[in-house]
Amino acid sequence: MQIAFDSVFIGLLEASPLILAAMGFTLIYYLNGFINIAYAESITMGAYAAILFNVVIGMNFYMAIIPAALASGTMSVAVYLLIFKPAMDRGVQPTEMIILSVGVSFMLRHALVLLVGADNRYLVEPEIKYLSFLGQGATNLQLTALVLVALIALALSWMIYRTSLGERMRGLANNPELAAASGINPHRTSVAIWFIAGSAGGLSGVFTGVFSAVTPMMGWNTILIVIMVTIIAGIGSVRGAVLASIAAGVLTAFITLVTKPLYAEAVLLILFIGILSFRKGRMA
């Protein structure tokens, strides 16, 4: 019983960055219909932007989150306008789009390394207090992060299911011609979605980075799990992405508690291949 409770508790804390990344990733996948591997760099970019504002400029950690998310969203829009949109206009097929996005990902990552070096960097956290919670320890930072992630996730999900931007996005994804005919500006909507998705990825990077280190490979190392969670949740389902991320987090925590941490990733990926294999018909 204790192990179940521990898994849920640790899993929730660990899943919080994954929730944000999966939410953003699923939006792009839903809107444009391809797996954007370069989304990994939105995650990394957010963390490095946070380093810039938090460590180099010296802003308070919680304050630095905002410009970091904006910077990551801006990069996401720039990549969309400069590379992905022209490629889609040229009629590049979904599989080739993925290969293209891998190219973009390598380009951005190694440009970053050339600029700032490959060393690990560390965010300056606000004062850490250990709190005890039903037999489990957590820091104030972890709990704040969890609350922040919950708030951001709620806001995103409200935006997708309740506002006109969300409606426009769903219209565009389902039938671009009809959406355009009914007066939706596809260009503006796409830019907004890529911005929001990029910002969500950036936030995910900040929260990943603050608990460990900021490295150039951090986005690349999580992207496969992000893809997996998104596909299992159903493409475009923001609520599903949240639930699947939590499930993945809890499962990871459980496997880590009973065996070795490394097995958690392997088991998740084997499960993923199994699910892909059993889901006939649909893309995933």
Residues that bind another protein (CB under 8 A): 34-35, 83, 86-87, 90, 92, 94-96, 98-100, 102-111, 113-114, 118, 220, 224, 227-228, 231, 260, 262-263, 265-266, 269-270, 272-274, 276-277, 279-280, 283-284
Distance CA 70, CA 78 (A): 12
* 234 dihedral zone (left: phi>0; alpha: psi -120 to 50; beta): left
Residue number with CB closer to another protein (93 or 132): 93
Minimum Å distance from CB 167 to another protein?
Answer: 26
Residue number with CB closer to another protein (57 or 273): 273
Residue number with CB closer to another protein (148 or 224): 224
Minimum Å distance from CB 99 to another protein?
Answer: 6
Residue number with CB closer to another protein (81 or 284): 284
Residue number with CB closer to another protein (151 or 217): 217
For residue 21, which of 258, 200, 164 has the smallest C-alpha distance?
200
Contact 189, 169 (CB under 8 A): yes
Minimum Å distance from CB 268 to another protein?
Answer: 9
| Residue 138, H or E segment | strand 136-139
Residue number with CB closer to another protein (97 or 160): 97
For residue 14, which of 279, 249, 227 has the smallest C-alpha distance?
249
Structure tokens belonging to residue 163: 């506002």
Minimum Å distance from CB 86 to another protein?
Answer: 7
Minimum Å distance from CB 33 to another protein?
Answer: 9
Distances (CA, A) of 126 to 10, 47, 213: 21, 16, 15
Minimum Å distance from CB 53 to another protein?
Answer: 24
**First and final CA of the chain: distance in angstroms?**
34
Complete DSSP assignment for 156-217: HHHHHHHSHHHHHHHHHHH-HHHHHHTT--HHHHHHHHHHHHHHHHHHHHHHHHHHS-B-TT
